[in-house]
Structure 1
Amino acid sequence: MDGSLKSSGFRFRLLPALDFFPQRVPFQRMTRWRMIRQMLFDGRGKPLPPAHRPVPASWRDDAITGSVLGHSTVFLNFLGVQVLTDPVFSRRVGLGVPPFVLGPKRYHAPALGPRELPKPDVIVLSHAHFDHFDVWSLRKFDRRTPVVTARATADLLRCHGFHQIHELDWGQTATIATRHGPLTITAFEVAHWGARMMRDDHRGYNGYLLTRGNHTVAFAGDTAYTPAFARLKDPTRPIDLMLMPIGAYDPWIRAHCNPEQAADMARQAGARTFVPIHHETFKLSAEAMDEPAARVRAAFAKEPHRLLAVSVGETFRVPLRPAA
């Protein structure tokens, strides 16, 4: 496991196959059993409906347009190339076969379901945690779809019939050919960990730079605060959009950045605009469900034009820079 996640906190395993959190965490406001009860035995009924429903069929192919469908699932029309990140549409995520899954229950329903989306040109997976790499959601898509994924995770895809798999480690690049032209995807360093079960901490965990011509979108996946984002800054090719996680930080701050840290890392990377992910969907931590959104709005209060969307299902469009 990544050394950045080590602390002197209490050591425990939540459940062998629900290893959403690092082995060592500081217990400040929660107990182990409160977390287990909250995640696994939530008595709520159906997920709340999303406040917004995007219409991807209306998005133009000469723009960068997208929507966060829930958690870290983003559907993006990147100058004509349709990109889907970390697709998770299940009611619960964790160990089991739907509907018998042991894990956190969804708080908000997806803004759109798999059958309501245009066919993606590529699926991008940041790491193998159940709330990002949901095989039951992936199985709803054409198995011929190219998939870009982290180091040592291809086995989780092959057994479900996917065969156009590009495994990347930090600094490695894949180019995906599409009918609208090539999409270049480069993995970059984040501060997280990749184990899905108890004994597979060899699996990787990535953020990604997606590049089309002179334009770049960054998808950070899952990360704690790290100075690695400052190394992404390139004055000759600024990042047009940063998709950045903002939730599940209390008490998991060594694995998940808070909204202020997310905003700071995006600024350090030179990102022109920002859309938050990883909030409003699963109850994974102690902070209130609406706290990350409120804090990220406050973090951009002096530059609101950079914060393009916050709520699940909102459609955002990135103002394009003129060609160099």
Structure 2
Amino acid sequence: MGRKCNFSPLHLAILVLGIISAVLAVSRLTNVASRPAAQARIRDEWDNEIHAHEALRVDWARERNDVEALRADLQREKVEWDRERLAQVERRQEEEVEWDKELQAHETLRADWARERDDVEALRADLQREKMEWKRQRAWEKRRKEDERARTRAGFRWEDLTPDQRCLRHNARGYTARLANVPRSYDPVQACEETTIEIPGVNIKGRPLKCEDRGCLGVFGHWIAESGESICATYFKTFDDKGCTSPGSRRRRIQSRLENFQYGDDEHKMCSTTPATFRHQHFPKPDTCDSGILGVWGVWAIKDENC
């Protein structure tokens, strides 16, 4: 079997043109065969056509070689393209398998999460129930302890209420009492702080201002009576005009001896907290206090335009 040659339309056109030229040349040669000059001219034309035909055949051969080379390149590219497409298909199949695995793993994880969420919700519900039960028990225990403490506190009582020997300040005196009937299981200082007092005839009531634990002697509460203490009710009676404090000062010195002052009391505290009223003015305390052989004196520097 011979080799099959492929010719392009251009090649076929050139071949047909050559055949027609040859036929015309033969016809012309027949008509002028009797003329040598015409024969020579025809022979030259024939040779030219042969050369042109040979050149055309060479071009055809070159083009055929180019076509074969192009066909080989296309074949190689096709093989390479098929190989790449096969590789892409394989990679895609591998990716799909891997993706299916990831989907399965994700679904498994979601199922685990759902179970964990249900477990957490169940645990939260249990904890809520336990918390409510714990609060209920705690409230009950608190009420029980409060009731028990209230019954215990109901038995507490203050004994031996005793006034201090000295006054604290004007019309104020300290009192002390011992808290009795405190059981060993009860903190004595806390019992003192929680127990109130109210005694007729003594102007003190409520809880102690301070609690003092004296060990075996017991716990003692301290109060301050702010009124009704006649022994601490110091006062100023006679007010002496000592003249201007200095020329141009517009101040006049007034002094008065502190009355009802008890020996041993703090002179400064008693004097500096005793009010006075004179010259139609009320003063909550003296400006200064002076001590002397004859007693304690309150001193005021009041306004006076005549000074």
* TM class, shorter-length: under 0.3
Q: Which has the higher helix share?
A: 2
Structure with more relative contact order (C-alpha pairs < 8 Å, separation 6 or more) = 1
Q: TM-score, normalised by structure 1?
A: 0.16
